[in-house]
Amino acid sequence: MNLEDRRRYLTHARELFNNREYWLAHEALETVWRSIIKEDEALVWQCLIQAAAALVHLARGNRHGTVVVGAAALEKLAGLQHPAIAWRGREIPHDWNSEHMAKRVALIYDVVIVGAGPAGLCAALYAGRGLLKAVTIERGAPGGELLNTDLIEDYIGFESIKGWDLAQKMTEHAKKFGAEIVTDTVERIHRDADGWFDVETARGDTYRTQAVILTAGGTPVKLGIPGEKEYAGKGVSYCAVCDGAFFKGERLAVVGGGDAAVE
């Protein structure tokens, strides 16, 4: 097989890769590999073949096979004299091994949920019930604004419950269906050309997923005055609809002039 034929096969294999036809790409690459005599050149093609095989395993749900075969490809590449390897715009260290590969594969999810407030925990619960591999990333404790609320009397099913207790019950309920909750901060979400999302966190992890649910919630604007933090949920409130009934008949001070203040 001459050089022009090899280029043609490589172009064809790349097109198959981009169309996620990994097994056909594997076969095209193997055809070239069998015709190569030089050992160092053959090794490069072997790496490409094993990379295709790893993706075949991944598509079939065989994560162990993905780790073993993918790590073998990376270890071969690490032994070659070559410029830095880049994947999805990032340089891959030359000392990558099966441990690195296992971590990378472990961070592939059906869905990534950003935020573990009531909405995020509900999403995690239903993802688990739907047998999806999901992870919920929360920068603080699960529960969201519930953790800043002392007493709750307007949540159906509970005549009166502490915000922290309700947050705990929601978290336990979600975990009953397999919810995985990670404490970290999402810093960037990028969608690749293949339609997958890369969710990057402050700890340096990148979660790969085909779906992202954003339930990041919101944080009330604080005044930053003495006593505000100490009395939050104990007389200082940020939600008229939520807490208005607690102050019926009392004299109140409303700070602000927007819609929420008028409400």
| Catalytically annotated residues | 239, 242-243
Retrieve residue 147's tokens.
């953790």
Residues 6+ apart with CB under 8 A from 134: 109, 110, 111, 112, 113, 123, 124, 127, 128, 179, 180
Smallest Cα–Cα separation from 46: which of 68, 8, 65, 73?
73
Smallest Cα–Cα separation from 36: which of 3, 73, 83, 70?
3
Q: Regarding beta strands 134-138 and 180-183, do their DSSP bridges make them parallel or antiparallel, or are they unpaired?
A: parallel
- The strand ranges marked E within the chain are 85-87, 90-92, 108-109, 111-114, 134-138, 151-152, 161-162, 180-183, 186-191, 197-201, 206-209, 212-214
Smallest Cα–Cα separation from 186: which of 146, 143, 136?
136
